[in-house]
Chains A and B, each alone.
Chain A
Amino acid sequence: MKKITKQTYLDWYKDMLFWRKFEDKLASVYIQQKVRGFLHLYNGQEAILAGALHAMDLSKDKMITAYRNHVQPIGMGEDPKRVMAELYGKATGTSKGMGGSMHIFSKEFGFYGGHGIVGGQIPLGAGIAFGDKYKGSDGVTLTCFGDGAARQGSLHEAFNMAMLWKLPVIFIVENNGYAMGTSVDRTANHTDIWKLGLGYEMPCGPVDAMNPIKVAEAVDEAIQRARRGDGPTFLEMKTYRYRGHSMSDAQHYRTKDEVEEYKKIDPITQVKDIILEKGYATEEEISVIDKEVKSRVKECEKFAEESPYPETQQLYDMVYEQEDYPFIS
């Protein structure tokens, strides 16, 4: 793994803050009804992405996740303006306005979506890894999903075949405590989701996922295992989401105190404290970063606002590769 340096901390701070502010902006334009549909935000879970990206080799490694998916492609290199435009349903969006909030894709940067059916992407992630193994690449696929998806059969079928065929995949459950409004302890007889790996003899374990260093170390070890040809790993990222499941969530299932407790171990604050403590930057320098982040988010909003909607003929353009497919009209 690349060494964690002063620059790593500064990048983590800048990136995680950008992701958080990007999501906050989406929440505010959602309330203005400029972004519609469902909107699931990543606030609180940023250390997972920051740590994983540090361990990944983006020239060959890939990622797939569920519908809490706006910031992952940005982290992998996609232009955030295009992600924002996709949420606005504009022609300049990552999917030209065909996908929306839950279906962000970025093939160029190895981001395979953006999936709306809980757990449906778990076998896909194993399949992407299957493709890499088939062609002899040592790329590794990070397959992310929530604690709710861990209760789907798709997980078990994918775990079994991924171990049977030693696929270069890392299964990552982002356990933020709640499957929509149902807490983890109300979905199974046990709460240590990582133990599901034991039944398949898959290397597995829990990770403090409010800390990007811990995440990077765990993901690095798993990536090395997969690259060696030793197959998958299952990591339970213990995290927390500050916002509701989606924008319509009144959050009656938890207390404000609980949310405040987690904010004390906020990943961005943790990284900021290290930066200040070690003298990697001063308060003034950090406030410069904060201003830059704010202005970049504003640029995304402006780009999305000013972009055109797609032409209506586009409705038929992307369903099939076949260019003259005879749709019923």
Chain B
Amino acid sequence: MKTVQFREAICEAMSEEMRRDESIYLMGEEVAEYNGAYKASKGMLDEFGEKRVIDTPIAELGFAGIAIGSAMNGNRPIVEYMTFNFSLVGIDQIINNAAKIRQMSGGQFNCPIVFRGPTASAGQLGATHSQAFENWFANTPGLKVIVPSNPYDAKGLLKAAIRDDDPVIFMESEQMYGDKMEIPEGEYIIPIGVADIKREGTDVTIVSFGKIIKEAYKAADELAKENISVEIIDLRTVRPMDHAAILTSVKKTNRLVVLEEAWPFASVASEITYRIQDEAFDYLDAPIKRITTADTPAPYSPVLLEKWIPNSNDVVKAVKEVLYL
């Protein structure tokens, strides 16, 4: 085992795959000479050269489309968005081309491509730089959406994403790049679409994904002091969702809280809530609770931001509500 930062896990996954397959290249703003805006591609230009580690102008629509076109013609691109907030100017290419080429061409063309970069808030960045669009992408048939929460999962899932023959959205966090964790020395792959039970428990199920899951860990520690046993499921993949894992857990605990750093309307939490009430209604001992950001654009002021974003106290409160405590 060795200890790596999240950014190093990302870099290892990309580098190992690029050594294995010549058709893979990395493209994006500042990925080459600058070593990545968050240093997730540190050293890659030196190893792979400018043919395969490519700095782009600031043109998210254009380079998304170029990468997709090359994927139709034999490449397996990794496209880095400095943040998924910036993917919005290129989202037409992702939704209308990457996600649809295979079906529209009757299976003649496919699009093996990974779009990766940070999602959601990262401190006081204000409204345009604090958004989570997991549900937007997950709403679209043709895409897969992965949101890892730690370095181990990030490496194994990114390697799976790069090897996948379908377009994958891979979402990280500026606030996780420095997280450290022990990972195996050698290569490993984590399958797409499989959730992970991060903590086993018996009284209530919390489902979450991405960096906000840390608030669930903190809440679980607090609740353990009161002898409340929390099971925490990390979705890891939002689309396809490991619905069976949630269902199994809810049938055991009979109570569900969903924690998501995103707006409430039509959120991933909404989808989980619908499906559990549909398939496990008789197992539920309390209405499902979801915890999301406030239904507003992210504010700047620290006082307002703290109010806007979910925290462990919100989780503790929700867990107690579903336990009628």
Contact = CB atoms under 8 A, between A and B. Distances in A.
A318 interface: yes
22 contacts: A95-B104, A96-B107, A98-B104, A99-B104, A105-B108, A106-B108, A107-B109, A112-B73, A122-B65, A123-B61, A123-B93, A124-B66, A124-B68, A124-B69, A126-B62, A129-B69, A154-B61, A160-B57, A318-B102, A321-B110, A321-B164, A321-B166
B51 A164 contact: no
A123 B102 contact: no
Interface of A: 62, 64, 93-99, 103, 105-108, 112-117, 120, 122-132, 134-135, 153-154, 156-158, 160-161, 164, 317-322, 325-328
A325 B241 CA distance: 11
B97 A124 contact: yes
A21 B62 CA distance: 37
A114 B166 contact: no
A96 B105 CA distance: 8
B67 interface: yes
Given A120-B96, A154-B62, A158-B65, A127 B107 contact: no
A98 B51 contact: no
A318 B62 contact: no
B56 interface: yes
Contact of A127 (B56, B70, B105): B70
Contact of A320 (B66, B71, B142): B142
A220 to B, nearest CB: 23
B145 interface: no
B21 interface: no
Interface string B47-81: 00001000011010111111111111111000000
A107 B101 CA distance: 12
B106 A124 contact: no
A127 B165 contact: no
Contacts of B72: 112, 124, 127-128, 131
B25 interface: yes
B319 to A, nearest CB: 28
Contacts of B64: 123
Given A125-B69, A127-B68, A318-B102, A161 B240 contact: no
B65 A124 contact: yes
Interface string B141-177: 1100000000000000000000011100000000000
B65 A120 contact: yes
A134 B70 contact: yes
Contacts of B96: 116-117, 120
A157 B62 contact: yes
- Of the four ranges (under 10, 10 to 19, 20 to 34, 35 or more), the interface on chain B belongs to 35 or more
A123 B62 contact: yes
Contact of B57 (A98, A161, A318): A161
Contacts of A160: 57, 59, 62
A320 B102 contact: yes
Contact of B103 (A62, A98, A114, A135): A98
By secondary structure, the A interface counts as mixed
B193 interface: yes
| Residue of A126, A153, A164, A321 with most partner-chain B CB within 10 A | A321
B92 interface: yes
Given A117-B92, A134-B70, A319-B103, A154 B166 contact: no
A302 to B, nearest CB: 22
Contact of A317 (B23, B71, B107, B112): B107
B268 to A, nearest CB: 13
Given A120-B96, A131-B70, A134-B25, A126 B106 contact: no
Q: Top 4 nearest A-B pairs by Cβ distance?
A: A127-B69, A123-B65, A157-B62, A131-B73
Interface string B188-203: 0000010000000000
A103 B69 contact: no
A127 B73 contact: yes
Nearest to A164: B57
A99 B109 CA distance: 12
A156 B62 CA distance: 8
Nearest to B112: A321
B143 to A, nearest CB: 9
Interface string B25-64: 1000000000000000000000000010000110101111
A129 to B, nearest CB: 8
A78 to B, nearest CB: 11
B239 to A, nearest CB: 10
A318 B110 CA distance: 9
B240 A326 contact: yes
A107 B231 CA distance: 49
A319 B165 CA distance: 11
A125 to B, nearest CB: 6
Interface string B104-143: 1111111010000000000000000000000000000110
Nearest to A159: B62
B66 to A, nearest CB: 4
A322 B101 CA distance: 15
A134 B51 contact: yes
Given A131-B73, A153-B61, A103 B66 contact: no
Contact of A120 (B92, B103, B141, B243): B92
